[in-house]
Amino acid sequence: MNVYVLGGNYTWTGSTSTNWAVSSNWSPAGVPSTNDTVTLSNGGVNSILLDGNRTITRLIISANTIDLNTLELHVSGRSSLNGGAINNGNLKIRGTYAYFQGTNFNCTLDVIAGQIKFSGGTFDKTGSFEQNGTASG
């Protein structure tokens, strides 16, 4: 018997509060978890305040601010970091791809990915980057 776990796609609206764990802040309503993709693209009404250590599969950010609240956000798959800001904690990326193209980082970065590309961004804290794949970065 094969079991497949499909992830959802959640977009931040921030319509209720800043709290990551409030389902009405996301579209569709719900709280992203381990197998899910999180998209921050329109800025939302409120910025995001992480409520606890979280793991997601994919992060796509082109707008808004995530305050990690001295906690850790772990991305286990792909990361497209195209704008916005991530502050005040640890961003841990493990996966196939990490693309840095304009996000402002005031957090600690710990990145091990098959492919890492740098094309912009601001890095105001310490970071560790390791590319472990054969694709050029």
Token readout for 92 is: 């841990």
Per-residue pLDDT at 36: 98
Write the pLDDT tens digit of every residue in 33-47.
Answer: 999 999 999 767 789
Tell me the mean pLDDT in the region 110-119. Answer: 96
Q: Is 23 helix (H, G, I), strand (E, B) or coil?
A: helix
Contact predicate 32/75, CB 8 Å: no
Residue 3, pLDDT above cutoff 60:
no
Domain range summary for the chain, segments of one domain joined by +: 9-131
Q: What is the pTM of this model?
A: 0.93
Distance CA 112, CA 28 (A): 30
Vertex 117: Cα angle to 111 and 121 (nearest 5) = 85
Strand boundaries in the chain, DSSP class E: 9-12, 26-27, 37-40, 48-49, 54-61, 65-67, 72-81, 85-100, 104-118, 122-123, 127-131
Q: What percent of the chain has pLDDT over 90?
A: 87
**DSSP 8-class letter at 45:** S
Residue 7's pLDDT band (boundaries 50, 70, 90)?
confident
Write the pLDDT tens digit of every residue in 64-104.
Answer: 999 999 999 999 999 999 999 999 999 999 999 999 999 99
